[in-house]
Amino acid sequence: MLQEMMAMTVYLMRHGEPTYRDTVALGLPGMGAELGQLTPEGIQQAEEAAKDPRIQKTDLIVSSPYPRALQTAAIVSRRIDRPLEIAVGLYEWLPRTDYSAASHADIKESWHEYMRNAGVHTPQDRFPDWETHASMRKRAREAILPYLARTDLETLLIVCHGGIMRALTDQPSLPKIRFCEIMELTPEMIRALNTQESEG
C-alpha cells in the first residue's frame, strides 16, 4: 500500500493574483478578510497555468476553500476537464490562531516575522499568536492524507497557498512563490507526509 501511495505524482499550485478590495470595503473581520476573489490578471494566470503539460493527466484537483484558490482551481478544472474537490484544512496560514481580526498591516508584519523565524516562535516575537510551520504542516498533512491513500489516483493537483506549499514541502523559508506557480512533491516529500508521526 505504501509503495502504491508513493508512486502517486502530486503537484502543488498557488492561486492566481487576488484582490481584497471588496473584503476591505465591507470591513469583513477575521477569516472574512480572506474572501477576496481573483483579479482579471489572476484569472488569466489560472487560464495560462491550465495549459501546463504537467497537469494535463491530473485525475483529481483538490482545492483550499478560500475563493482565490477555489476560483483558480475551478478555472483549471474547466480547462482540463477534471473533477474538483475541496479540502477545508488547506486554508492559508493564520496570522492569529484564534481566528480573530487583524489589520492588513499586522498580517503583513506577522508574515514577515514568520519568515524571519522560519515558522518558529521566539520570546522576542512582536506577534505571538501566528500559526507555526509545524502546526500548519500538521493540518495540511491531515487534509491531504485521505487523497494520498487513494489507489485510484495517479496524479493529484492541489491548488492552495504559498504558506501551504511551504508546509507540504517542509520548507518554511522558501522564497516568494509566484502566482499560479506549480511545484511537484518529490517522492521523499510524499514519503515524509505518509510516515510522519502526528505532531503535538
Lowest mean per-residue pLDDT among 79-93, 95-109, 163-177: 95-109
Classified as helix, coil or strand, 179 is coil
Q: Show the CA angle centred on residue 76, arms to residues 83 and 168, nearest 5°.
A: 85
Tens of pLDDT, residues 121-134: 999 999 999 999 99
Q: Residue 200: pLDDT above 80?
A: no
Q: What is the pLDDT of residue 34?
A: 82
Of 185, 192, 150, whose CA–CA distance to 164 is shortest? 185
CA dist., res. 46 & res. 39, Å (int)? 11
More confident position, 41 or 32? 41
Q: What is the pLDDT of residue 197?
A: 53
Tens of pLDDT, residues 46-67: 999 999 999 999 999 999 999 9
Q: Any idea of the CA torsion for 64, 69, 72, 77, to the nearest 10 degrees?
A: 0
Find where cell 508521526 sits: 197
- Under 8 Å CB-to-CB from 3, ≥6 apart: which residues? none
Q: What is the pLDDT of residue 67?
A: 96
Q: What is the pLDDT of residue 5?
A: 42
Rg over alpha carbons for the chain, rounded to the nearest Å, is 17
Assess contact for 151 and 6: CB atoms under 8 A: no
CATH superfamily, region 2-195: Phosphoglycerate mutase-like (3.40.50.1240)
CA dist., res. 93 & res. 73, Å (int)? 19
> Domain extents for the chain?
2-195
| Strands 60-63 vs 9-14: parallel, antiparallel or unpaired | unpaired
